[in-house]
């Protein structure tokens, strides 16, 4: 065998992920709000992109006469393919808007009566239904004082001693959002180079600050601080608070014995304990929960069934200023500048078309989910069908990974509430009578119903739940019931028996 360099020709296929393709895949995963942030960055970077300020106020009429009807077998008529994403010559156009790329697409499913609309704002989005001149809600909220600022202000009025101020400021930095001291005093003393007794003295001062209960090192100490302020921390109450684990286990007889009290006095002490605040620092929490805004809207169709459309209020609307592009092209410029201009126009044109393709894909996936889960929307969670990504991907002729990306971080507003699109995908539980399989989500719902309705004197064990489910037609194992119960944070039969037992 001769070892020598040589030339060979080989024929093969490979998938090349262009930057545009990678960006298009990324756009599918973004929610409408995340997409708006992406568009804002593109508007700042690309001089040829503009925000469409002249969004139409009215939604286009829903003309049922243009619907393509499908037979009861659920097989759709062949749809027109998406328009070619190649880039055109803008020289003759005054404005190329995102709306010009939209087709007025509507599909009606006769078996599920699902109508899909992607007219104008649906396909590429709108700038929102709010006045752009008005500030957002987050801009009108007053800045709330943080817990640490509140405590620092009290520290400044409580003492003027430099050492106390230094130790107190350090301890304030060590509390968590609930107001508990998260660091060990020995570690604080080592870091500060102070005596442990001095740190404990400062901690005693801080524990008198408002809100009462801050700087506690555990729940028992937090409750004790609040009871001392009420002058209710007598020896019996002290023993009661120090045995919170027995209280949680409903062992009230043993607690009464430790406190030296009658058993009938325990409920009153427990009631008083429940009036205390276990997390006093949360009163100063200024973390405003962000509302979940649906990406897809679903409403009842006048003819029966459902109408599915994109939420135009959260979709960004962009256009390409081809007039500016044509004018700049006529001016003398260097080769580098001309190349830059061509790249920016290509990017802008691609973005508009990618937004159109994204909207079309979301509508296809959402409408197919609604069609397959028609029983859930009409009758409730008991009729939720088992469904996997392949069930939707095969119908709309897309890859499972595309369906997965589309359903990530996307929410749909339905007559039954707001749901993440991934909620409708669940594994199947077989049926004992050979009928259609049951959705795992509907099984979890049934288990929760059984446990919620159980008699406190006859707590259902996992084996008993399996027997009841089997009688109802569910083919399920005991370990599956235990897994679903634990996932819903429902205790075992022993724990539930203690929780539901009346106080002794």
- The tens digit of pLDDT for each residue in 383-427 reads 888 888 888 999 988 888 888 988 888 899 998 888 889 888 877
Q: How far apart are CA 10 and CA 479, in angstroms?
A: 54
Give the pLDDT confidence of 71-83 residue by residue, as tens digits: 333 333 333 333 3
Look up tokens 């429902």; give the residue.
490
pLDDT category at 85 given cuts 50, 70, 90 is: very low
pLDDT at position 222 is: 92
Please give the residue that has the higher pLDDT: either 79 or 493.
493
Q: Is 152 exposed, middle or buried (0-12, 13-18, 19+ CB in 10 A)?
A: middle
Residue 135 and residue 92: Cα distance in Å, rounded? Answer: 39
Q: What percent of the chain has pLDDT over 90?
A: 5
- Average pLDDT over the chain reads 77
| Mean pLDDT confidence for 208-223 | 90
* pLDDT(238) > 50: yes
Through-space distance between the first and last CA atoms of the chain, rounded to whole angstroms: 92
Count the neighbouring beta carbons within 10 Å of the beta carbon of residue 64.
12
CATH fold, domain 147-284, is Arc Repressor Mutant, subunit A (1.10.10)
Q: Please state, for a pLDDT cut of 70, what percent of the chain lies above it.
A: 78
Mean pLDDT for the stretch of residues 88-96: 37
pLDDT tens digits along 121-141? 333 433 333 344 555 555 555
Higher pLDDT, 478 or 131: 478
pLDDT bin (cut points 50, 70, 90) of residue 68 is very low
Identify the pLDDT of residue 255: 85
User: Which pLDDT band holds residue 115 (cuts at 50, 70, 90)?
Assistant: low
pLDDT tens-digit series, residues 189-211: 888 888 899 989 999 999 999 98
Q: Are 312 and 121 in contact (CB under 8 A)?
A: yes
Residue 233 clears pLDDT 80, i.e. is over it: yes
Count of C-beta atoms within a 10 Å radius of residue 315: 25
Domain at 428-500: CATH architecture: Orthogonal Bundle (1.10)
Q: CA 265 to CA 279: how far, in whole Å? A: 26
Dump pLDDT digits (tens) for 45-59: 888 888 876 654 333
3-class secondary-structure state, position 135: coil
Report whether 88 contacts 349 (CB < 8 A): yes
Instruction: Indicate whether 380 pLDDT > 60.
Output: yes
Mean pLDDT of the 28-45 span:
84
pLDDT on residue 88: 36
The structure tokens listed for 75 are 């097989």
Q: Domain residue spans in the chain?
A: 19-73+87-131+296-421, 147-284, 428-500
Closest CA to 297 of 403, 419, 126, 384: 419
**Which of 482, 498, 480, 479 has the alpha carbon at shortest distance from 490?**
482
Contacts with 250 (C-beta within 8 Å, 6 or more apart), sequence order: 498, 499, 501, 503
pTM above 0.85, yes or no: no
Task: Provide the token pair at 15.
Answer: 């998938």
Residue 477: name the closest of 447, 445, 436, 435 by CA.
447
Please check whether residue 165 is in contact with residue 194, taking contact to mean a CB–CB distance below 8 angstroms.
no
Q: Report whether pLDDT(316) > 60.
A: yes
> Coil, strand or helix: which one is 198?
helix
Predicted confidence at residue 58, as pLDDT, reads 39
Helices (H), 56-128: 121-124
pLDDT at residue 183 greater than cutoff 70: yes
For residue range 432-450, list pLDDT tens digits in order: 666 667 778 888 888 888 8
Same topology, domains 147-284 and 428-500? Answer is yes
Query: What does 204-258 look like in DSSP terms, one character per residue?
Result: HHHTTSSSTTTTBSSHHHHHHHHHHHTT---HHHHHHHTTHHHHHTT-HHHHHHH
- Residues 36, 293 contacting (CB under 8 angstroms): no
CA distances from 227 to 212, 232, 307 (A): 9, 5, 57
- The mean pLDDT of 254-276, rounded to a whole number, is 86
The encoded tokens of residue 125 equal: 């989005």
With 70 as the cut, is the pLDDT of residue 166 above it? yes
Task: Please give the DSSP secondary-structure letter assigned to residue 361.
Answer: H
Q: Above 70 in pLDDT, residue 276?
A: yes
């Amino acid at each position: 065998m001769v070892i020598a360099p040589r030339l060979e020709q080989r024929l093969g296929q490979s998938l090349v992920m262009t930057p545009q393709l990678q960006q298009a895949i990324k756009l599918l995963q973004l929610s409408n709000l995340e997409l708006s942030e992406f568009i804002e960055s593109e508007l700042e970077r690309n001089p040829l992109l503009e925000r469409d300020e002249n969004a139409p106020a009215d939604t286009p009429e829903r003309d049922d006469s243009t619907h393509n009807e499908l037979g009861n077998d659920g097989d759709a008529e062949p749809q027109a393919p998406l328009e070619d994403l190649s880039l055109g010559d803008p020289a003759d156009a005054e404005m190329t808007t995102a709306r010009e790329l939209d087709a007025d697409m509507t599909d009606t499913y006769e078996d599920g009566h699902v109508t899909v609309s992607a007219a104008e704002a649906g396909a590429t989005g709108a700038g929102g239904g709010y006045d752009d001149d008005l500030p957002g809600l987050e801009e009108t909220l007053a800045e709330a004082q943080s817990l640490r600022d509140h405590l620092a202000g009290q520290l400044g009025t409580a003492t003027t001693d430099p050492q106390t101020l230094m130790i107190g400021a350090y301890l304030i930095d060590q509390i968590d959002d609930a107001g508990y001291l998260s660091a060990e005093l020995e570690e604080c003393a080592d870091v500060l180079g102070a005596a442990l007794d001095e740190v404990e003295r400062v901690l005693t001062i801080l524990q008198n600050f408002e809100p009462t209960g801050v700087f506690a090192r555990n729940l028992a100490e937090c409750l004790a601080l609040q009871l001392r302020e009420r002058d209710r921390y007598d020896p019996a109450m002290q023993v009661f608070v120090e045995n919170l684990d027995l209280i949680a286990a409903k062992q009230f007889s043993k607690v009464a014995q430790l406190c030296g009290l009658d058993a009938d006095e325990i409920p009153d002490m427990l009631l008083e304990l429940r009036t205390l605040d276990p997390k006093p620092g949360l009163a100063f929490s200024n973390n405003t929960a962000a509302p979940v805004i649906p990406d897809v809207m679903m409403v009842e169709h006048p003819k029966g069934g459902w109408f599915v459309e994109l939420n135009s209020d959260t979709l960004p609307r962009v256009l390409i200023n081809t007039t500016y592009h044509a004018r700049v092209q006529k001016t003398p410029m260097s080769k580098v500048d001309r190349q830059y201009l061509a790249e920016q126009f290509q990017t802008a044109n691609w973005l508009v078309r990618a937004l159109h393709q994204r909207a079309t894909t979301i509508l296809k996936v959402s409408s197919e989910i609604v069609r397959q889960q028609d029983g859930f929307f009409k009758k409730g969670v008991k009729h939720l069908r088992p469904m996997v990504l392949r069930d939707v991907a095969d119908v709309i002729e897309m890859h499972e990974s595309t369906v997965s990306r589309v359903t990530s971080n996307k929410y749909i507003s339905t007559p039954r509430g707001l749901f993440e699109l991934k909620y409708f995908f669940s594994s199947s539980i077989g049926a004992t009578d050979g009928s259609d399989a049951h959705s795992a989500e509907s099984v979890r719902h049934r288990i929760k119903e059984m446990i919620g309705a159980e008699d406190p004197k006859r707590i259902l064990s996992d084996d008993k739940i399996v027997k009841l489910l089997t009688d109802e037609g569910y083919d399920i194992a005991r370990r599956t019931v235990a897994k679903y119960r634990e996932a819903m944070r429902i205790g075992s039969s022993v724990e539930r028996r203690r929780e539901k037992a009346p106080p002794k």
